């Protein structure tokens, strides 16, 4: 009898997981029906290219985080074959503090330089990888600009967190391996690593006897040491440097021409599209951008809207660069009406950026105009969303001066799995409505447990999520 009961409970648990897995629920009835989608953008009458700006979240190891989304578009929605995706190459920031051969920023951790020389600094540069595909039944070209920011935080994480943990809870051998290897840049694999600790030191640390309980040390070594440390670093002074790097990578993405010669065979078409001329001479939607960001990535993507004040910089080249990057970000956000957030940490992160100004003065621009203005504290999200809305509204009026009905309004779709321990509901921000949608990313075992890793990581392979994003006719209706 006991065996029958156990078997029945297991079957019931499995059935419950299967039934719940495909559901998409929303706060408001019929919210999904009113959403703009990537599919809609790909079906534009003029067939302009559509870029997905993809920014990964915490806990990243190596390039290729967008592969889950790219592959799922093919395998879950049957819109392509995985081999249809063409890698058009990687680009790195190359101006300001990232100028080739530049010495690292003067930044110290308890008196020790974070980066010791130009070689270490070069190994820490973020990069963007361009992926191009033509989907079935959609005429426009789709680009995924995969922005990889994880290299910038490895020096501190490896030397001062991973290398110290063996003395406490115990060694994390896989991360010690990551931190002690050096490899050539490989944006299509797990490359761009650097030997932040020596192989001899890593072997010595890996041989140390663990002290913490197995589950506890596993959670600390992965979730806290490698994951949540990213959040702390992003809101530290490194956040300003990272913001500058991503702004440069966005300018590279704006200049990337997916229809350039050689792309079909995997050639390199970087820098061939003159977005600056478009800003100067035309009010047209020549390209369209859609943000897709996982957890911390959404925070980083919107931080690029922190414009550097005109005239900020120590040299004329700095002033020109800051102005150019401001224009690139504005160009992209003019052409961005839709953002998708996978797992949302905005409510938690905004605690670090409280606004102490009087309510009537919230939108006043009081950021410093000093030389280091590019690294000043980020504006809060209310101000950033207001700026995005103003940029978009002005552009839509210019594109459709006589047709108000044709003007798009901005839209934010926040996806959450209620069992994801690292997601929070996104509230209305200023006058921008946020559509919160809820899914289940992995099976629930006897209604008691869902894998925390799967709950946080599986949004991009959840068929219900993908159907809504691409306006698939079989999309599950909200409950």
Other beta carbons less than 10 A from residue 326's beta carbon:
19
How far apart CA 62 and CA 73 sit, in angstroms, is: 21
* 325 CB neighbour count, 10 Å cutoff: 24
Q: Is the pLDDT of residue 136 over 80?
A: yes
pLDDT value at residue 128 = 94
Over residues 216-226, the pLDDT tens digits come to 888 888 888 88
Paired with 25 in beta bridges are 438
d(CA 319, CA 314): 8
Question: Where does the pLDDT of residue 355 fall: very low under 50, low under 70, confident under 90, or very high at 90 and above?
Answer: low
pTM recorded for the entire structure? 0.88
Place of tokens 């921000």: 429
Does 365 have pLDDT greater than 70?
no
| Alpha-carbon distances of 297 from 52, 65, 242, 251, 294, rounded to whole Å | 13, 12, 12, 17, 5
Question: Is residue 123 predicted with pLDDT exceeding 80?
Answer: yes
Beta strand extents in 183-305 (DSSP E only)? 288-294
The reported pLDDT for the residue numbered 5 is 41
**Between 183 and 465, whose confidence is greater?**
465
Task: Enumerate long-range contacts of 26-32, CB under 8 Å, 24 or more apart.
Answer: 26/435, 26/436, 26/437, 26/438, 26/478, 27/435, 27/436, 28/435, 29/478, 30/478, 31/435, 31/437, 31/478, 32/437, 32/468, 32/475, 32/477, 32/478
Q: Are 250 and 329 in contact, with CB atoms under 8 Å apart?
A: yes
* Distance, CA of 4 to CA of 9 (rounded, Å): 9
Q: Which of 109-123, 186-200, 271-285, 373-387 has the lowest mean pLDDT?
A: 373-387
**CA–CA distance, 195 with 477 (Å, rounded to integer):** 50
Q: Please tell me the predicted confidence (pLDDT) of residue 98.
A: 94
Q: Pairing mode, if any, of strands 108-109 and 288-294?
A: unpaired
Confidence class for position 265, pLDDT limits 50, 70, 90 = very low
* 8-state DSSP, 442: S
Q: What was the pLDDT predicted at 97?
A: 92
313: left (phi over 0), alpha (psi -120 to 50) or beta: left
Strands, DSSP E only, in 140-190? Answer: 141-148
pLDDT at 13 over 80: no
CB atoms within 10 A of CB 200: 9
What is the number of H-type helices and E-type strands within the chain? 17, 11
As a whole number of angstroms, the distance between CA 347 and CA 370 comes to 30
Is-contact 75 82, C-beta < 8 A?
Answer: yes
Q: For the ranges 131-140, 249-258, 353-362, which has the lowest average pLDDT? A: 353-362
Mind listing the pLDDT tens digit for each residue in 420-458? 988 999 988 888 889 999 999 999 887 788 988 899 999
The per-residue pLDDT of the chain, averaged, comes to: 84
What are the start-end ranges of the H helices in 304-462? 316-334, 346-349, 381-399, 452-457
b/e map 46-62, b = 16+ CB within 10 Å: eebbbbbbbbbbbbbeb
pLDDT of residue 30: 78
More confident position, 34 or 263: 34
Report which listed range, 179-183, 261-265, 443-447, is most confident.
179-183
């Amino acid at each position: 009898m006991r065996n029958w009961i156990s078997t029945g409970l297991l079957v019931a648990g499995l059935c419950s997981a299967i039934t719940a897995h495909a559901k998409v629920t929303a706060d408001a009835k019929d919210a999904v029906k009113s959403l703009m989608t990537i599919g809609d953008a790909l079906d534009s009458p003029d067939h302009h290219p559509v870029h997905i700006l993809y920014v990964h979240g915490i806990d990243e190891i190596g390039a290729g985080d967008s592969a889950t989304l790219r592959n799922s578009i093919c395998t879950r929605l049957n819109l392509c074959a995985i081999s249809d995706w063409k890698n058009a190459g990687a680009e790195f920031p190359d101006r300001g503090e990232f100028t080739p051969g530049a010495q690292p920023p003067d930044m110290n951790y308890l008196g020790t330089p974070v980066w010791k020389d130009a070689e270490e600094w070069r190994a820490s540069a973020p990069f963007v990888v361009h992926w191009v595909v033509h989907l079935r039944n959609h005429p426009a070209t789709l680009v995924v600009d995969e922005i990889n920011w994880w290299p910038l935080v490895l020096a501190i994480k490896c030397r001062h967190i991973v290398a110290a943990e063996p003395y406490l809870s115990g060694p994390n051998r896989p991360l010690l391996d990551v931190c002690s290897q050096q490899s050539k840049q490989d944006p299509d694999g797990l490359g761009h690593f650097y030997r932040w600790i020596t192989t001899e030191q890593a072997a010595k640390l890996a041989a140390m006897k663990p002290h913490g309980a197995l589950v506890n040390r596993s959670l600390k070594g992965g979730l806290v040491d490698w994951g949540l440390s990213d959040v702390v670093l992003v809101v530290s002074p490194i956040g300003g440097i990272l913001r500058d790097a991503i702004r440069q990578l966005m300018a590279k993405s704006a200049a990337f021409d997916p229809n350039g010669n050689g792309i079909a065979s995997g050639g390199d078409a970087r820098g061939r599209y003159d977005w600056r001329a478009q800003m100067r001479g035309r009010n047209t939607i020549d390209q369209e951008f859609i943000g897709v960001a996982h957890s911390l990535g959404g925070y980083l993507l919107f931080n690029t809207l922190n414009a550097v004040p005109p005239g900020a910089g120590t040299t004329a080249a700095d002033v020109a660069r800051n102005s150019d990057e401001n224009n690139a970000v504005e160009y992209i956000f003019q052409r961005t009406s839709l953002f998708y957030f996978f797992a949302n940490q905005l409510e938690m992160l905004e605690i670090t950026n409280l606004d102490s100004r009087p309510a009537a003065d919230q939108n006043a621009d009081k950021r410093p105009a000093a030389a280091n203005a590019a690294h000043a504290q980020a504006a809060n999200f209310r101000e950033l969303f207001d700026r995005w809305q103003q940029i978009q509204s002005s552009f839509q009026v210019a594109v459709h001066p006589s047709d108000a009905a044709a003007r798009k309004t901005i839209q934010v779709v926040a996806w959450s799995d209620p069992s994801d321990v690292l997601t929070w509901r996104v509230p209305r921000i200023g006058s921008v409505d946020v559509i919160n949608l809820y899914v289940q990313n992995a099976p629930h075992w006897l209604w008691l447990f869902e894998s925390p890793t799967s709950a946080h990581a599986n949004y991009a392979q959840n068929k219900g999520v993908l159907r809504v994003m691409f306006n698939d006719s079989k999309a599950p209706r909200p409950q």
